[in-house]
Structure formats: structure tokens, C-alpha cells
Amino acid sequence: MKRFVHDHGLIFIFAIGFAVCLVLGFAMEHRAFTPASPPGQAFAVVFVQDPAAVVSLTATVNPDSPWRDKLTVHVKGVPKKLDHWLLVVECPPGSANSPHPGKLVSEPVAQTSVPASAVTVFSGASKPRTVKLGCFIRVQSNSFNQSNTPGYASIGSVTLPALETDQELQGALTTPTLYEERGVSAGSKRLFQIFPGATCPSSAPTVTQPTATPTNSPSADAASGPSPQLSSTAVATPTSSPNPGIPGCFDEGQTDATFSKYYLPSSVQTKETLINVNLTGYQVESIFPAPQITAGKGSPGRGVAEDYTWSGLSSLSPSLIVSNLAGQQAVNRYIFVAGILLGIAGGAAASFLQEVWPKIIWPKSGRTEGNGPDASKEIPAGES
């Protein structure tokens, strides 16, 4: 055993050192060159019964406590019987469970399969109503090194909801009609967002209309020839009121359900305020559009805070991208340490091949005179 350790101890030392340096070096390199995932996007859209309604949609976002983010909806300018509205909120993937769950199915004009989206649905009428965004749960404050990680509360991972738009509306040229399924049992609401000109999927049910198909015989021989035959041509048509049906031929709804129609308002004022912004230790990479900056309340001992406010007359999707200076220093440190460790691992591998490997191939115990790598030329006869 002692002889084995004596003969192979150096090999073990090289192997262990090489493995440790290699693993730590690659771990540091992974942390340095793997960027944090960007914050997810949230959407909030108000639909009204009367498209002539004037809507005000306001969002208040707190970067240090996103579970307090809230939305305020105010609908006016329409008769009291038509002042009902729906607020549809779509949270980023992996968000908190919704207190008012719903399912939104969109049917764009193109015949593409659009999966149903999990949404939060609020409703109201006449008076203004303020609700929580509800996308995030309460978490503890994080350090600078975590501030660009989604799910933590900081300006580096803040989610600014897009107002009066969603993933389907962003690229649409027309405005959709929203159908709310009524008369269903308690549970999540079912919503169907139908765009004008949308066509039924091939597997959807259709309404058949009989049409006459003439034969090849001349009209003069119609009396003696075969009579015109009726063929059924599939034509997608919506059901008449009071049950408007779903023009998109969806089968998610119940057959005996009725639907309420909602529309995008013709006039909407959007406003979004990011409160108590403290950029100490951060660098602004991008901000669009340019906000109105006012003094904020802030927190004691946390430096100067400001409020960023964006306003619009239709959809609003502000963007703020910052980088953490402490995080950048940590990345530079990871790169430096990774370079040292990988360099040591490479040097150990080179030393192993140069010094240890030959001893494994030609061990001392197996060498004899005239054999081995250092055996030189044979001694000529007659020389001593």
C-alpha cells in the first residue's frame, strides 16, 4: 500500500487539483456569462359595453414591493345601463395565483392555433375602481447581486405593465370584440377575443346551406334530363341574437350559454407611474418613452427617490432597463477568477503530460539497462 501511494501519490494530487480548478473555473465562467432573465411582461386591457365610452386606465408600480402594484379604472360618458366594463390582466409566466381567474381565448384573422391564456378578470360600472395587479407575491428585499433576478423586488427586475394592449392586440390592424360567457357555474370566467375577418378552424362546426348544382345537360333537355342536385356548402355564420354565439366557432363554451359583448373604447387615457425610483448603484441603459420625473416620497436612509410618470392617449407600454453596477463588478470578478482557475487547470494538465505521464509509461521498476527512454546507443565492441 505504501509503495502504491509512493508511486501514484503525485498522480492523485495532479488529478484532484485539475478537477477542482476545472469545476470551479467553469462554474465562475457560467455565472459571469449567463445573463439574468429579463422581467416578464404584464398586460392590462379595459373592455366596455359601449365603444363610445371614455376610459381612464391608471397603473401605479412600486419597484420595491410589486405585490402592491395597482390599477385604477374609470368609465364615463355613456348611459348608466351601458357603463359596465371588464378589466383583463395577463401576468408573466410563473406569477402568483389569480384571485379572480379567467381564461382568454383569442382568434386572430390568420388561421393559427392560439392557446388559451390564464388571465385575471375584474368588472365594474360607473364609479372608479382600484384593484391590485395581483401578479406578484410578497418577497423579502434582495441585495445588489440579486437585483437583476426576476421574482425579487428591485428596480432591476421591475415589471411595467403594458396598458390597453396585449400580445394579440400589439400586431393587430383591427379591433376585436370580447365575448364574456354567462350562465356558467362558479369558477374561472371564459372570455373569447374575436377579431374581424377571423375564420373558423377546419375542425370547427359549421352551418350548412343548400345550393343548387346544375348538371351538364342543356336547358332544353332539362325536362328529360336529371333534375338539379342539392349539395351542402359549409359556411361559417354567427348565431343570431339574443345568443350571439361565437363567430370563431369555438367549442370551449357551453352550448346553452349566452354571451355579453364588450368592445375596446374609442377614447382611452392611459397613465403609468413608477413610484419611489432610487437609482443609487444602478446605471440606466434604456428608458422609453421619456417620462415626466417628479420628486418621490422615498424611504429614510435610502437616498433620493423620484417618481417616473408616462402618459398616453391610447395604448401605453413603457420600458426601463437598468444595470446593477455592483453586479457588473461581480461579473468582472467572476471572469478574473475563472481565468485564473482555468489557467491553473491547463498548467496542471500540461505538467501531468510532461512529468507524470512518462513515469506511468516507463516506470522505474520496469527499467533495465539498455531499455527505457534514456537508453542511448549501444556501446561499440572494444570500448570500455
- Name every residue whose Cβ is closer than 8 Å to that of residue 278 and which is 6 or more positions away in sequence: 155, 298, 299, 302, 303, 304, 305, 306
Count of CB atoms within 10 A of residue 114's CB?
14
pLDDT for residue 9: 65
Indicate if the alpha-carbon torsion angle 236, 240, 243, 244 is positive or negative.
positive
Collect the ranges in the chain with pLDDT lower than 50.
141-153, 201-245, 247-249, 251-253, 365-373, 375-376, 384
What pLDDT digit, counting tens, does each position of 313-351 carry? 989 999 998 888 776 667 778 788 888 888 888 887 777
Decide: pTM greater than 0.95: no
Please say whether the beta carbons of 269 and 55 come within 8 A: yes
Q: Report the pLDDT value the prediction gives residue 70, as an integer from 0 to 100.
A: 96
- Domain coordinates in residue numbering, the chain: 2-34+330-363, 43-197+257-317
What integer pLDDT is reported at residue 111 of this predicted model?
Answer: 56
Q: Are 132 and 44 in contact (CB under 8 A)?
A: no
| DSSP conformational letter for 375 | -
Contacts of 64-67 with CB under 8 Å at 24 or more apart are 64/141, 64/153, 64/154, 64/276, 64/299, 65/138, 65/153, 66/133, 66/135, 66/136, 66/153, 66/158, 66/159, 67/96, 67/132, 67/136, 67/137, 67/138, 67/139
Which pLDDT score, from 0 to 100, does residue 150 have?
Answer: 38
